[in-house]
Each structure stands twice: as C-alpha cells, then as structure tokens.
C-alpha cells in the first residue's frame, strides 16, 4: 500500500465533505438534508440532544460518471449508532436504488460505515431498521455493486458489521476496524481473560483493516486518502457484480470451521503475545462469568420444533445446534428450523443457544441446500424459523475469525430463500436478541410472536444494555413505559408495527396439542394470505410507533427523482 506524503485524509472531514470528496465535482445532491429536521422522536424523551440529520447523510451523485447513491454515517453523533430515522434513511435509499435498477436506471451504492451498530436508546426500532438495510443490500447487489468503505476511527460494529459482510466489496484502511461485538462488550460478557479491551495492538491485530484484508474479509487495503479511495471505489464499480458474494462462499467457510473445530485447545495459546489467536481453553473457563452467558432457560426452540414436527424426525446438520424437521402443516410442505443449545460445541462461547461461527454458516448451508433441493419443484417449501436465541456468541476467537461474516451468511441465505420463491415465516417463541435475531428470524416475510412473558426481544441482553447505557435494570424497565422501543417484553414490541400477528398459548415452554393446533392455524394463514409486498421484500405492517419510518420513506420518495 502506497501512502501519499501529503495525503487528503478522509477521516479529517465531516460526513458531507467525505461524500463530496468522493463524488464527481458538482454531481452531489443531498436528500433529506438537515433543513428537513428529521430527527429522532425517541432521544428527547431521554434528555438527549438530537442532530438535524440524525447522523446519516444521503447524496445522489456520480463517480467517474457512474450514478450512485452515497451514504455516510456520522461517527461523531451517538458513536455512529443507528436509530429509527437514520436507519430508515439508509434502508429507504437502498430500496429506491433497487426500484431504479429494475426500471433500467443504473444506480450503484456507496456506504461509508463509521458505526457502532444499533442505537440502544432506540433499541428495537434501530435493530429493525438495520434488518431492513440488510434486506435492501442483498436485493440491490444483484443489480449493481454495493461498495462499503470503513476508514476509522469509530470502526464498523454491531448489526452494521453484518451489513459490511453483505456488501459486494469492502475497502478498509489501517485505522479501520470491523467486528460484530465491540471489545468492551466482549470484556463485559466474557471477562478480561477472554479479551482485554484496553489492549489496542491486540484489537487491531484481530479486527483492523490490514488483518481483515489479509484474511479475505475485506477486498482492498487502502491508505486514508480521498484520491486513492475514490480510485479504489471506481475500480470496484468497474468490476461490476462479483461472481460470488463473500456471504455465499459456504464451502470455504465450512472447510475452515472444520479445521478450527478439530484444533486441540492446547494449540490455542493463551500468551497475549500471540496476537489474533483465541484461547479456547480460556473461553471455556470464562463461559460462565456472567449471568447472560450461563445456561439460560433454554429449550423453547427445540420444544416447538418437536411439537410442530409431530411424528416427523428432527434432524441436525453438521452443526448440532442447527436442527430442522420437514412437516406438512394443513397441507403445506414446510421446513421448520431452530437454533438450540449444544453443550458439546467445540466453540465454548456458543454452547447455550447463541448464534456463533458454526451456527451462522450452518444456517446458511441448510437454507441454501433447501433452495437447491426445491429449485425445480412445482412448489417451494415454506421455511419457518423458530426463534429462541439469547444473543450472538461473545468471544475472541469468534471476532478474529469473522463472526459478522458468519451471521451475514445466514442473513443472505434467508433473503435468497425469499428471492427463490419460498414463503418465509418467523415464529418467535422465546428470546430474539441482537445479532442472533437478525441472523435467525428477522428476514422472514412475516413475523408472528407468542404473546407470552417469556418472549423477549431487544438489541442487547438486559444486563449488557444496563451497563452500556449506564442505567440499572429497574431503570431500563421504567424507561420502557415512555420509550417502548427500549422494552424487552412482547407488550412493548407489538406496538412497533413490526409483527404480522401475536397469539396466546397456554404453555409456551411445553406446548400442548391444542397450542400446536392454534399455532398451525395462524401459520397456515401466514402462508395462504397473499403478501402485500413483492415476494423478495419484507412485509412489515408499519404505522404504530414506527411513524417516523413511514415519514422518512414518503419524503425520500418525493425527493428521489426531483431535479436539482
């Protein structure tokens, strides 16, 4: 990598200037700018000052004459986290680019990703917006390149790291970082023996731009220079749509996972001088340091899988935590899929139902196998995701080996199933937390949740969210009364305009025959009632407390094709 002596550092610019430096001169037109005053409706309720663009800048312009929609996240506002408005701006812009391409109007996308992921002060609405972004990226990249750029200093974390893993191509600088879980969160969840968040050289050796490019998790290692970055972006745009997306490279991932799983713990050194390697032995010792990583009340996914499968066999993939069954529900051929705890997993950080490396790639493989098996059949099976996932895995090994990419593979696979003509239904029977929910459940056409106290939905586990937001757990519960997106219970979630339906059962832990019949009746409705959106899109009722999302979409649609 050649670094100019007098480089034009992109990091030194504010988001608007970053985009202007990368787009052709006089081609940039900002959409939903600060004078639109589209600000978060949730931050003022918590005494937090808003920003007039909610931390996301949108522009339409050109790069070497190629039309692009360019998006920059402001890492200086709320750590680059995405809430309802900022997330809706990105998702809506990508969806309009999809529409343009389908109408023969060539439109690529450029994403400048300086983000911590979900804005916890908006929790479930931020998480939903990121799920919408994932869907839009995968659908757009079939028509035009979606180029991600990470330059620093915030890095790219949380659900937006999954978005990075879904991009057609990714550029990173030496200052950049990319990972699902931030170092501080891993230290909180797994202990300092698992990861010392203050060890900066270790962090960069695990998740820095140079390491990510060297291991194939990013495509181009660039200097932080606007001119070089612009040239790299143009090169990737000229290459067009890749033959295989990184999130779909299943064979290579499975080979690599097999090597990791078979490696003895003694081969994973604990000496911190062995940068970028993860001690499985230390992971096992640290696995129960915190309540959220201790064995939780598990088994709902497994219980509902077996109950709905009835007399059909329950099978597992090469990843024992991924279980499935083929069943006929009221005449409809269905494949039921669940992630269940595997106490014998070779990856200790994913033994309690978390979605880790093996689970992410395992879900992707099973879904792609289903798509392939049904490709030439007169009818594609309905895929039903049974959701009871406490979180993604928190571990040094997982981050070093690209946990974000494993979850991106699962996300991509669910979207591929929709594109291939499968009806996809998410049945939330227990926990649906954070990146695990994004990877298993959120990408369903329709979401159905049990109306039960044991159903918990959120962007982060409660104890972790309390630590990050510097509140007590009681204070979080109290806050949810006035800020419903912060709530964990189904009573809050069903006000957000995300669920197709909820239903009550007598025993969500051990479903009775009558409980199963009630659920099957509602699943049948979800299968038979025609979609109100395109078959490859997400159907979300909207309205409710998601009014700001609807406002963003309507205003952006009005501005999208307007003359300068």
- Residue 422, both tokens: 């499968």
H helix runs in 215-356, sequence order: 226-239, 250-262, 280-286, 300-309
Q: For each of the chain's 564 residues, which pLDDT tens digit applies?
A: 555 566 899 999 999 999 999 999 999 999 999 999 999 999 999 999 999 999 999 999 999 999 999 999 999 999 999 999 999 999 999 999 999 999 999 999 999 999 999 999 999 999 999 999 999 999 999 999 999 999 988 999 999 999 999 999 999 999 999 999 999 999 988 899 999 999 999 999 999 999 999 999 999 999 999 999 999 999 999 999 999 999 999 999 999 999 999 887 544 433 333 333 333 444 444 444 443 444 444 589 999 999 999 999 999 999 999 999 999 999 999 999 999 999 999 999 999 999 999 999 999 999 999 999 999 999 999 999 999 999 999 999 999 999 999 999 999 999 999 999 999 999 999 999 999 999 999 999 999 999 999 999 999 988 888 887 888 889 888 999 999 999 999 999 999 999 999 999 999 999 999 999 999 999 999 999 999 999 999 999 987 789 999 999 999 999 998 765
Burial of 271 (0-12, 13-18, 19+ CB in 10 A): exposed
CA 409, chain centre distance (Å): 10
Closest CA to 394 of 250, 292, 255, 256: 292
Closest CA to 560 of 95, 48, 13, 9: 95
- All residues at 6 or more sequence positions from 212 whose CB lies less than 8 Å from its CB, including other chains: 170, 172, 176, 178, 218
Domain 15-249 identical in fold to domain 299-552: yes
- Residue 263, both tokens: 């490696």
Residue pair 153/175 in contact by the 8 Å Cβ criterion: yes
Please state which architecture CATH assigns to domain 299-552. Answer: Alpha-Beta Complex (3.90)
Task: State the pLDDT at residue 152.
Answer: 86
Per-domain boundaries in the chain: 15-249, 299-552
- Residue 128, both tokens: 């939903």
- Per the listing, tokens 């969160």 go with 185
Please state which architecture CATH assigns to domain 15-249. Answer: Alpha-Beta Complex (3.90)
CA distance 367 to 187: 33
pTM score: 0.94
Burial 115-149 (b: 16+ CB within 10 A, else e): bbbbbbbbbbbbbbbbbbbbbbbbbbbbbbbbbbb
Q: For 160-219, write each residue's pLDDT tens digit.
A: 999 999 999 999 999 999 999 999 999 988 899 999 999 999 999 999 999 999 999 999
């Amino acid at each position: 990598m050649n670094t100019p002596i007098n480089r034009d550092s992109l990091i030194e610019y504010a988001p608007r200037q970053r985009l202007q430096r990368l787009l052709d001169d006089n081609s940039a037109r900002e959409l939903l700018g600060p004078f639109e005053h589209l600000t978060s409706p949730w931050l003022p309720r918590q005494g937090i000052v808003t920003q007039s663009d909610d931390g996301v800048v949108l522009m339409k312009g050109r790069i070497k004459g190629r039309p692009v929609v360019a998006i920059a996240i402001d890492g200086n506002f709320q750590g680059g986290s995405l809430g309802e408005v900022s997330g809706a701006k990105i998702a809506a812009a990508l969806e309009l680019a999809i529409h343009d391409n389908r109408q023969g109007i060539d439109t690529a996308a450029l994403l400048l990703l300086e983000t911590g992921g979900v804005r916890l002060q908006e929790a479930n609405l931020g998480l939903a917006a990121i799920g919408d972004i994932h869907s839009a990226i995968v659908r757009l990249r079939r028509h035009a390149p979606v180029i991600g750029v990470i330059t620093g200093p915030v890095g790219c974390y949380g659900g937006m790291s999954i978005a990075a893993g879904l991009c057609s191509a990714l550029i990173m600088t030496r200052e950049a970082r990319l990972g699902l879980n931030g170092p501080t969160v891993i230290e909180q969840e797994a202990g300092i023996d698992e990861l010392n968040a203050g060890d900066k050289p270790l962090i960069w050796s695990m998740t820095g731009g140079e390491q990510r490019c060297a291991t194939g998790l990013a495509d181009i290692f660039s200097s932080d220079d606007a001119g070089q970055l612009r040239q790299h972006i143009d090169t990737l745009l000229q290459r067009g749509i890749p033959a295989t997306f990184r999130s779909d490279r299943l064979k290579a991932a499975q080979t690599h996972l097999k090597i990791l799983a078979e490696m003895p713990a003694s081969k994973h050194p604990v000496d911190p001088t062995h940068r970028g390697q993860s001690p499985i032995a230390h992971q096992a010792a640290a696995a129960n340091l915190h309540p959220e990583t201790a064995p939780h009340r598990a088994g709902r996914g497994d219980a509902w899988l077996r109950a709905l499968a009835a007399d059909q066999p329950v099978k597992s993939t090469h990843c024992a935590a991924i279980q499935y069954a083929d069943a006929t529900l009221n005449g409809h051929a269905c494949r039921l899929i669940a992630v269940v705890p595997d106490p014998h997993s070779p990856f200790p950080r994913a033994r309690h139902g978390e979605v880790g490396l093996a689970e992410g790639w395992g879900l992707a493989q099973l879904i792609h196998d289903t798509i392939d098996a049904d490709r030439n059949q007169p009818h594609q099976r309905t895929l039903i995701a049974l959701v009871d996932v406490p979180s993604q895995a928190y571990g040094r090994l997982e981050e070093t080996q690209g946990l974000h990419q494993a979850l991106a593979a699962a996300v991509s696979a669910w979207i591929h199933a929709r594109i291939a003509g499968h009806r996809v239904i998410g049945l939330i029977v227990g926990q649906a937390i954070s990146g695990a929910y994004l990877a298993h459940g959120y990408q369903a056409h329709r979401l159905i949740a049990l109306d039960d106290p044991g159903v918990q939905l959120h962007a982060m586990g409660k104890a972790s969210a309390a630590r990050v937001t510097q509140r007590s757990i009681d204070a979080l519960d109290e806050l949810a009364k006035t800020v419903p997106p912060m709530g964990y219970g189904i009573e809050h979630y069903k006000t957000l305009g995300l669920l197709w339906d909820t239903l009550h059962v007598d025993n969500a832990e051990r479903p009775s025959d009558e409980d199963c019949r009630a659920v099957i009746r509602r699943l049948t409705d979800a299968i038979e009632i025609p979609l109100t959106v395109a078959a490859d899109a997400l159907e979300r009722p909207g309205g409710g407390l998601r009014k700001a999302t609807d406002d963003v979409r309507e205003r952006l649609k009005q501005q999208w094709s307007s003359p300068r």
